[in-house]
């Protein structure tokens, strides 16, 4: 399993946290996603043979948030 942390801009409350978490977990290949609202980061564990950073970025941005990078 690979791990990354997405830097997500635009999350304002628990609804945003739940939506981003669900969006990431619904992607084929993502096994875990945990959003830290104060830092604006989403920690993701995933199978890099099934899902890539750009897939995660696109899915989150379709929900109206900006992904400004990852670690």
Domains, the chain, ranges and CATH? 2-70 (3.30.70.100)
Note the pLDDT tens digit of each residue in 7-45: 999 999 999 999 999 999 999 999 999 999 999 999 999
pLDDT band at residue 71 under the 50/70/90 scheme: confident
Tell me, what's the pLDDT at 70? 82
Task: Find, among 62, 56, 63, the residue nearest to 7 by Cα.
Answer: 56
Kindly state the tokens that stand for 71: 């670690």
Q: Is it the case that residue 69 has pLDDT exceeding 90? A: no
Q: Whole-structure pTM over 0.85, yes or no? A: yes
Dist CA 56 CA 9 (whole Å): 14
Q: Is it the case that residue 64 has pLDDT exceeding 90? A: yes
């Amino acid at each position: 399993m690979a791990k990354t942390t997405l830097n997500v801009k635009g999350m304002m409350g628990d609804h945003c946290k739940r939506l981003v978490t669900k969006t990431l977990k619904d992607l084929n290949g993502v096994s875990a996603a945990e959003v830290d609202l104060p830092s604006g980061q989403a920690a993701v564990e995933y199978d890099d043979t099934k899902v890539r950073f750009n897939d995660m970025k696109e899915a989150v941005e379709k929900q109206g948030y900006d992904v400004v990078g990852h670690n």
